Amino acid sequence: MKKPFKNIETIFNKSLNSIETFIQSHPKVNFLFGAVFEAADGLIRSTKDTAKNPPFIRSSMDVKQYMGGILAALFFGWVVPAIYFYGFMCVVPKLIVSFVVGVFIVDVIWVILAREERINEGGFVTCLFIPAFLPPQAPLWLIGVGAGVSILFRNILGGVGHNLVNPALFGRLMLTICFPTMVVSGWQEPFTGIPTIESLMYGVDAVTHATPLIVFKETGEVTSYLSLLFGAGTGSLGETCRIALIITGIWLCKKRIANWRIPVAYLGSVFIFSAIFSLTAGKTVAPPIFQLLSGGLIFGAFFMATDPITTTYSQTGKWIFGIGCGLITVVIRNFTPIPEGIMYAILLMNLLSVPIQSIILKMKYRV
């Protein structure tokens, strides 16, 4: 069993090597397809770089595994539950459109036109976020536009290592500005109206229902916590099954890919601030546990706020970042007409993380 596999592998390796030498010896081919080949090759084979400076051994963890961990967590955190709740045809076409437009069109064209960064796996993470925070009935073109805008924005900033704000959330902000009704309507109830191929073109004729947060804002009614936790409520495609998100989020924290300080600070501060506000301001403020379990808070806290480069570097700064996110979320949810504030909170704190970082450094090293 092992031997034929080994032979195939050697042939495969040799052919990849010959393609590589061919591309590198022809500058025009290299100009067009060099980056694409490098990206594909990077997914299959290790690099040939060796350590030139001490230390001469390195740990096996690299950014690819790091991003792969996030991808795996997102897959089991929202893709699998969403397929279960809304049907295969509701989720998979959206993912395909998101990946094709985001990674295979915008990213590839960008790399060919402005080839400085190589294509990297961060684009997959961004594209996996896009369908997750749009309603289940969002049309496919909306997903495509969102993915395109996000990846374009991400590439303009410079990709992983340069991002100022979370590119996926920036894409959603653009969608909210351009197509406000589409982003905040079409909340389909789970298990109803599983779409078929025909319905992809014309939309699903399914029952829609306002999200728990909108319901609370309009009538003051609190949805049952169990249905919120296990995903029977309405909401964006990826945010409803909170139990799966919590489990995968904790796995990410355990693997040290997501820093545990951010989710703890974020969720804790949402709980504390909403408790304080509901005690002082009365019934207009939703109860703390309802706030924790509704909207995209769990998804945002574990997956969006922990996006590595957009927070502060300092660990203390990460606490402040999380607490700031929590405060803004509670304020937007309860004292403004907008029902959900995760996106604004995280985007604003992403921008604020730059001054937070420099203040923390000054206090730590120069006082």
For residues 185 and 358, which CB has a smaller minimum distance to another protein in the complex? 358
State CA 182 to chain mean position distance: 20
Q: How many residues does the chain have?
A: 367
Picking from 63, 301, 65, 312, the residue whose alpha carbon sits closest to that of residue 164 is 312
Bridge partners, residue 188, by sequence: 208
For residues 46 and 219, which CB has a smaller minimum distance to another protein in the complex? 46
> CA 221 → CA 184, 213, 271, 278, distances in Å?
19, 9, 19, 15
Distance CA 217, CA 206 (A): 23
Q: Residue 5 Cβ, how far from another protein at the closest point, in Å?
A: 10
Cβ-contact 276, 331 below 8 angstroms: no
- Quote the tokens at residue 54: 């001490």
State CA 116 to chain mean position distance: 24
Distance CA 345, CA 77 (A): 22
DSSP string computed for 318-331:
HHHHHHHHHHHHHH
For residues 323 and 332, which CB has a smaller minimum distance to another protein in the complex? 323
For residues 7 and 284, which CB has a smaller minimum distance to another protein in the complex? 7
> CA 201 → CA 93, 185, 204, 291, 341, distances in Å?
12, 18, 9, 35, 31
Dihedrals phi, psi of 169, to nearest 5 degrees:
-70, -35
- Measure the CA angle with vertex 15, ends 12 and 21; round to 5°: 140
Q: Residue 54 Cβ, how far from another protein at the closest point, in Å?
A: 6
For residues 72 and 194, which CB has a smaller minimum distance to another protein in the complex? 72
Q: Residue 56 Cβ, how far from another protein at the closest point, in Å?
A: 4
Q: Residue 181 Cβ, how far from another protein at the closest point, in Å?
A: 37
For residues 224 and 358, which CB has a smaller minimum distance to another protein in the complex? 358
Q: Residue 20 Cβ, how far from another protein at the closest point, in Å?
A: 9
Distance CA 301, CA 342 (A): 9
For residues 20 and 189, which CB has a smaller minimum distance to another protein in the complex? 20
Dihedrals phi, psi of 138, to nearest 5 degrees:
-60, 135
For residues 17 and 24, which CB has a smaller minimum distance to another protein in the complex? 17
Contact residues toward another protein (CB under 8 A) are 9, 12-13, 16-17, 41-42, 44-51, 53-66, 120, 160-162, 256-257, 259, 308-309, 311-315, 361, 365-366
